[in-house]
Structure 1
Amino acid sequence: MTFSIIGRCAETGQLGVAISSSSIAVGARCPWLRAGVGAVAAQNVTLPALGPQILDLLEQGQLDPQTALEQALQANGWSQYRQVTVIDDQGRVALFSGDQALGVHHAVAGNGCVAAGNLLAGTEVIEAMTAAFEQAPGQLAERLLAALQAAMAAGGEAGPVHSAALKVVDELIWPIVDLRVDWAEHDPIGQLGTLWQAYQPQMQDYITRALDPTAAPTYGVPGDE
């Protein structure tokens, strides 16, 4: 039903999540990030509260990811239905798959990343994600997208995927990348990649516009001068 990867860039400290699902609007429920704190993917029978709760515990309690994950699961109950991965700003990771996770499910920690999925075509899908992330060049967003593409090449889900999302945080309080394909009959991961290719050349301009409007570049639309 869902496969995801969370990762950290050792060079920039950026944190990110890339995720795809057969369900609609996976990006609205499952990826959670906080600059300087960590990233969480909460999936399977999704409880969206787990994401912000784990990030709160990481930030306020100075806990390691495994302890924060365990405390959040215990506080909410029904952990047997959850699948959750966590990475903090130091690159420490945690992962959990309940015994009621759907279908073929798997979770793997890699170098600077954690991948997980359920209702998979096979466990090799998740192994392919971590390998692709570790080997891919470029920015964190590009490495996360490479992992999604590798998952599909390895078989993806047992059924068709319909939504995908990519989120990255840096030093700012808001995500510098927040791209979503909420529903597509065909190839949402490919459409997400197309969105990234369109957004990436403008990403720094939008940061500049926010921090210093006097330096904002223009794009030739009426009133934008």
Structure 2
Amino acid sequence: MTFSLVARCAETGMFGVAISSSSPAVAARCSFARAGVGAVASQNVTDPSLGPLALDLMQQGLSAAEVIEQVRAQGRFIEYRQVLAVDKAGRTAIHSGPNSLGIWTQAEGRDVASGGNLLANDGVCQAIVDGFQAARGHLGDRLIAAMRAGLAAGGEAGPVHSAGMKIVDKVSWPVADLRCDWSEDCPIENIATAWDIYKPQLEAYVQRALDPRAAPSYGVPGDE
């Protein structure tokens, strides 16, 4: 019911997760990232506890591959889960349990890993990885390009209804956390539209949190 990617920007050190599903509010349950540590997606009969577990292990110094081994050892009903991880060195690892739903597959590249289940075909995840690696610009732009590539390659076997994109960078909170929890239209394009609006304001929102005295104006009526 899901296809996703976790990724690292080699230039900035940002981490991101992008995900879409036929289920509602997929990003609320499945997307995890921590600045300076890594990014994780936990999906397919989802156990959201695996995301924080994996990030805690990475923060302790374990590589993505070591983290996935620990997730396999510690996770309950792990044969039903898919877990994707990328660490601060850009290394990736994936667990896909044998009880993953429908057509399921996974693909990896430097700084990026993709996984999916109930897919239209087994080429979707490689298309996502290829789309990310071919794209240029901000990590958010590359995440959107990757998800569009996965959708163009077939996406899910049925229509998707929710999507999300989370990005972390230097501060303790996500610098972008965009979600479409349900749509009869394409939720990936809804996220892309939100990103086009949010991207020019991202740095201003961070600056307002760090020091509002040096922040740009708020751009609302009555603001001077």
Tell me if TM exceeds 0.5: yes
Partner of 1:107: 106
Instruction: Provide Cα deviations, 1:34-76, integer angstroms capped at 9, x if missing partner.
Output: 111110000001000000001111112x212122122123222
Structure 1 residue 220, shift from structure 2 partner: 4.0
Q: What residue is the counterpart of 2:17 in the other structure? A: 17
Q: TM-score, normalised by structure 2?
A: 0.97
- The alpha carbon displacement at 1:212 in A equals 1.1
User: What are the equivalent positions in structure 2 for 1:167-206 lying under 5 Å apart?
Assistant: 167-206=166-205
* Deviation by residue 1:20-40 (Cα, 9 ceiling, x = unmatched): 001100110101001111100
* TM-score (structure 1 length as normaliser): 0.96
The answer for unaligned runs of 5 or more in structure 2 is none
Percent identity between the aligned chains? 54
Alpha-carbon distance between aligned partners in 1 of 2:33 and 2:212, rounded to the nearest angstrom: 26
Q: Is the contact between residue 50 and residue 73 of structure 1 (CA under 8 Å) also seen in structure 2?
A: no
Instruction: Report the alpha carbon displacement of residue 192 of structure 1 after superposing the two structures with TM.
Output: 0.4
Q: In the aligned structure 1, how far is the partner of 2:136 from the partner of 2:64? A: 27
Q: Report if the CA contact (8 A) 2:20-2:161 is conserved.
A: yes
**SS of match in other structure, 1:123:** coil
Mapped to 2, the partners of 1:116 and 1:50 lie a distance apart of 15
Q: How far, CA to CA, are the matches of 1:174 and 1:44 in structure 2? A: 26
Q: Which moved more, 1:193-202 or 1:74-83?
A: 74-83
1:156 has 2:168 as partner = no
Q: Secondary structure at the match of 1:29?
A: helix
CA distance in 2 between counterparts of 1:198 and 1:18 reads: 17
The Cα shift of 1:224 comes to 3.8
Aligned to 1:45: 45
CA-CA distance at 1:223 after TM superposition: 5.4
1:1-225 maps to which residues of 2 (within 5 A)? 1-60=1-60, 62-222=61-221, 224-225=223-224
C-alpha deviations, 1:116-144, integer Å up to 9, x for none?
10000001111110111000111111101
**Runs of 4+ residues over 4 Å off in structure 1:** none
Distance in 1 separating the partners of 2:10 and 2:71: 27
Q: Which amino acid aligns with 1:13?
A: G
How far apart, in 2, do the equivalents of 1:44 and 1:172 lie? 30
Q: Is the 8 A contact 2:92 2:110 kept in 1?
A: no
- Residue type matched to 1:176 in 2? V
Cα distance in 2, alignment partners of residues 59 and 102 from structure 1: 30
The amino acid that maps onto 1:105 is W
Determine the C-alpha separation between the residues in 2 that align with 1:146 and 1:214: 36
- What SS class does the counterpart of residue 176 from structure 1 fall into? strand
Q: CA RMSD in A?
A: 1.1
